[in-house]
Homo-oligomer: A and B are copies of this chain.
Amino acid sequence: MSSVPKRQKLDAAGDGNTSAGPNEEESDALEQIDACQNEIDALNEKASEEILKVEQKYNKLRKPCYEKRSELVKRIPNFWVTSFINHPQVSGILDEEEEECLHALNKLEVEEFEDIKSGYRINFHFDENPYFENKILTKEFHLNSAASENGDWPASTSTPIEWKEGKNLLKQLLTKPYTNKKKRNSDYKTFFDWFSDNADPVNDEIAELIKDDLWPNPLQYYLVPDIEVEPEDDDEIDDNEEEAFDDDDGEEEGDEDLEDEDVK
C-alpha cells in the first residue's frame, strides 16, 4: 500500500465529501492509520520470522532422533520396502521388480531446507544391488523463491540413475506387457517413474506422502495391527487402494492416520 491515502470510492455518509475529498482532520487521521498499518505489517513479519526460528530449532532437535532411528532401522531387513508396501497409496506405485530392487534401500532421509518453506529433499540410500550403481538417489524440491537465486522454481530434480546393463527398470516397464496384478490409480505407474518425473513439482502426491506421512512415523506402516491382516485377500487390498486414490485427497487421509503424531 502506498503511504499516501488515496481518494475514497464511495462516501457512505452522502454528505458531499466525495467530490471535495476528505477534509484535513480526516486526512491526518488516515495518515496516522496508515502508519499504524505499517507497524502491524512489521509485527506480522517479525512473527513469521520467529515462528520460522522455532520450526528450525525443532528441526535441529528432531534430527538426532531421526538419525538414531535410521541406525536402528538398518538392523531390520526390508524395513522401508515393507513400510512402502503397507502404505495404502505408496504401495500403488510399486512394480513387482521394483519391490525386489527396493530390498536394497537401507536408509531413507527427508531433509527440509534451512528456511523450511523453500523446499526439501528425499535421499534414498541403497546397498550394492543388481539394478544400478548409485549409492544414493536424491529427489529435491525447490518450491519457493528463497530456494534458488536464479529463480528456477518451483522445480524438482532427481539423481540420474546409473542402471546396470539390462537392468533399466524404466525401459523394461515400457516394453513389457502390463502384467502387474495391482491396480494403479496414481498419476505414476511405478516408483522409478515417479522418481524420475519432474514435470509437476508442486503437486507431487507421492513425495508429500513420503515427507509428511511415512517419514514422520513409518512404524505405523511397518507394523500393521492384527485386525487388518486376517480378513483381507489380494482383491480387497486392491479395492482399498482404489478408494484411497479416488478420494483425490490422499494426503489428508494420511494425516488422519497420524493425528496427534504429526503436529509439526
Are A65 and B40 closer than 8 Å at their CB atoms?
yes
How far is B229's CA from A103's CA once the two chains are assembled, in angstroms? 66
Partner of A33, one of B45, B48, B73, B81: B73
> What are 20 A-B contacts with C-beta separation under 8 Å?
A1-B220, A5-B223, A6-B223, A9-B86, A9-B229, A10-B86, A13-B78, A15-B77, A26-B75, A30-B219, A33-B219, A36-B65, A39-B65, A40-B65, A40-B217, A44-B261, A44-B263, A47-B54, A50-B57, A51-B54
Distance from A106 Cβ to chain B, minimum over Cβ atoms (Å): 13
Given contacts A40-B66, A44-B264, contact A13 B77 (CB under 8 A): yes
Given contacts A47-B58, A68-B36, A223-B8, contact A76 B217 (CB under 8 A): no
Partner of A44, one of B82, B226, B228, B262: B262
Residue interface mask A246-264, B partner, CB < 8 A = 1: 0000000000000011111
**Chain A facing B: main interface SS:** helix
**How many copies altogether?**
2
Residue interface mask A180-218, B partner, CB < 8 A = 1: 000000000000000000000000000000000000110
Partner of A8, one of B61, B82, B102: B82
Given contacts A6-B224, A78-B13, A223-B5, contact A55 B47 (CB under 8 A): yes
Beyond contacts A1-B220, A10-B82, A12-B78: 15 other A-B pairs, Cβ-Cβ < 8 A, are A6-B225, A8-B82, A8-B222, A9-B229, A12-B81, A13-B77, A30-B219, A33-B72, A36-B68, A39-B65, A41-B260, A43-B62, A44-B62, A44-B262, A44-B263
